Amino acid sequence: MGSLEYDLRHGLKNLDQVLRTVRLRFSRRSASLTRRLLEKHAMPPGQDWGPGPWLVVDLHTTRPDGQQGRRAYALLAYFVRAGYRVALVANRGFVGNIDRKLKRPLLEHPMTVIEDVGAFGGDDATLLTDRPRRTLPPGFRRQIVVKTSGPFEPARGQVAFPFALHPTTLHLGMDSDLERLREMPRRWRVFFSGACSKASYDTHWIRREFGMVPRSRVLEIISEELPTEFPASADEVEDLLTREVSGFVWPPESAAAIAPERWLEVVAHAAVFAAAPGVSYPMCHNIIEAMAVGTVPLTEYPEQFDPPLRHSENCLTYSGEDELRSRIREIEQMTPTGLTSLGRAAAEYYDAHIAPEAFVRSLETDPRPTLVLHLKGYERPPLA
């Protein structure tokens, strides 16, 4: 995709976010919601704020939200998982839609809501903001400035926020049982489940901007190369969990939906997950979930990770349709021991670079008083 077309598309997306933020700032509904949050979650007068660490969230727009609020949820949930207490500044442009869709589970996390940063009375605090300050107020030790546009540029000191597990998986705590899931027998050789319609996933963004094989075509090729099971219901999926499948398990998305509570366990039955790209950028939650349970990702976008995944080290990669076919034939011949070794390496990568506690600890060890955290580094390949 040409630079002008790219800039125009992302400019239109940013304009849409600006309009959403303006509507929230002038909406009676968001004003009422903000008042209720302040009343319900205010720190009582005279009460000790208690020990930190604190995360004071001073965001002013919907730009950090991501689709349906999923990125905003993951961002705050990561710090909560790492033991931080949250103080949320009641900026209507960010909190005015906090009760909607995948952002809503934030309301179930313990938090304090304050009028502005100056109302924070605690200590040992990190300021998470989209408006950096030259001088931090008392009680703050550093600031993390979120970036939501432009390419990810590690050479300029930017840190990429990892693409996380799906918010529902995070919120339900389904990743609390990863050690058990990683030891499950891998009865299926290759697996995929999820949306995959050609109308939605065979896009010019994936083909032209990223030069990748779209999801619908990836799955067609795998099913052409391997004997394929098409379980037509959730019961048939459950039946397959007890059977050895040397080929490809691909349940139709509408007929065999897998409940969120079961998703990680089902993925853990596979040796390899077909991590085909998404709609407007490659990265998807399913590749993260596969790695978390020790299932080897088969992917065309290893460079979207920071640091990049490595072929035959912690993933299996391909470039183009011909190489995908060759890779499938290789997977068919691989030993269980070899696949298990790759799966363990994928899980180790997850533990080191993507897991909430590990990522937040990596931020804490960075000595810089101001960090730039890029929330959308996955929308475009990193610059060399």
Structure confidence at residue 17 (pLDDT)? 67
d(CA 79, CA 356): 7
Structure confidence at residue 21 (pLDDT)? 75
Structure confidence at residue 360 (pLDDT)? 98
Single-letter residue type at 193: S
Beta strands in 288-367 (DSSP E): 296-299, 316-317
* pTM greater than the 0.85 cutoff: yes
β-bridge pairing 316-317 and 125-129: unpaired
Domain ranges of the chain: 3-149, 168-354
Length of the chain as a residue count: 384
d(CA 330, CA 296): 14
Q: Is the distance from CB of 55 to CB of 88 less than 8 angstroms?
A: no
Structure confidence at residue 204 (pLDDT)? 86
Q: Name the strands in the sheet holding 228-229, side by side, starting at the edge strand that comes first in the sequence.
A: 228-229, 245-249, 188-191, 270-274, 296-299, 316-317
Give the 3-state secondary structure of residue 89.
Answer: strand
Helix axes 356-364, 70-81, angle to 10 degrees: 70
Q: Which residue reads 């109302």 in tokens?
A: 119
Q: Domain 168-354 is classified in which CATH homologous superfamily?
A: Glycogen Phosphorylase B; (3.40.50.2000)
Structure confidence at residue 2 (pLDDT)? 46
Torsion sign over Cα 222, 226, 232, 235: negative
Q: Is the distance from CB of 373 to CB of 161 less than 8 angstroms?
A: yes
Single-letter residue type at 265: E
Q: Across the 384 residues of the chain, what is the mean pLDDT of every consecutive 10-residue run?
A: 53 66 82 94 93 96 93 97 98 94 95 97 96 95 93 88 96 96 97 93 89 96 97 92 96 80 96 96 96 98 94 98 98 97 98 98 96 87 45
